[in-house]
């Protein structure tokens, strides 16, 4: 057994997941296939760049592996990948800030408990 996460060999375990839950796996594959499909309103290169940005926000190393490879095959440049990364970073930071407003709203809505008393 490996002692680290995100081992490329882990992809082989997908076969085991498929065997354990075949219908669910088929649904997942169908959903996932929309990313790299041809012929949509959004060209494949841009679909793959979007997938890279989303993989950065979901922090999925496996998705980054697959979608950087596919983006390169679809003609994406290193500069485009870098921009996608920073767009994702900006949106993730923005989401943290806007969730900060929710934190303030929730904080303001809580009643203060006496010191040392659980709320």
pLDDT in tens, 4-41: 667 778 888 989 999 999 999 999 999 988 888 888 89
CA distance 54 to 20: 27
- Per the CB < 8 A criterion, the answer to whether 48 and 67 are in contact is yes
What is the predicted pLDDT for the residue at 118? 63
Average pLDDT over residues 74-78: 97
Q: Is 37 helix (H, G, I), strand (E, B) or coil?
A: coil
Could you please state the CATH topology (level 3) that the domain comprising 33-106 is classified under: AhpD-like (1.20.1290)
CB 69 within 8 A of CB 35: no
Which pLDDT value is given to residue 61? 87
Q: What percent of the chain has pLDDT over 90?
A: 67
pLDDT at 2 over 70: no
> Residue 81 pLDDT more than 60?
yes
Burial class (CB in 10 A: 0-12, 13-18, 19+), 28: middle
């Amino acid at each position: 057994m490996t002692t680290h996460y995100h081992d490329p060999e882990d992809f082989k375990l997908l076969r085991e997941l498929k065997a354990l839950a075949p219908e669910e796996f088929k649904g997942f594959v169908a959903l996932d296939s929309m990313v790299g499909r041809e012929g949509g309103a959004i060209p494949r290169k841009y679909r793959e760049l979007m997938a890279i940005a989303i993989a950065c926000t979901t922090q999925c190393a496996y998705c980054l592996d697959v979608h950087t490879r596919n983006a390169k095959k679809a003609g994406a440049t290193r500069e485009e990948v870098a921009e996608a990364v920073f767009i994702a970073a900006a949106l993730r930071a923005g989401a943290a800030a806007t969730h900060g407003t929710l934190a303030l709203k929730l904080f303001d809505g809580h009643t203060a408990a006496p010191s040392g008393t659980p709320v």
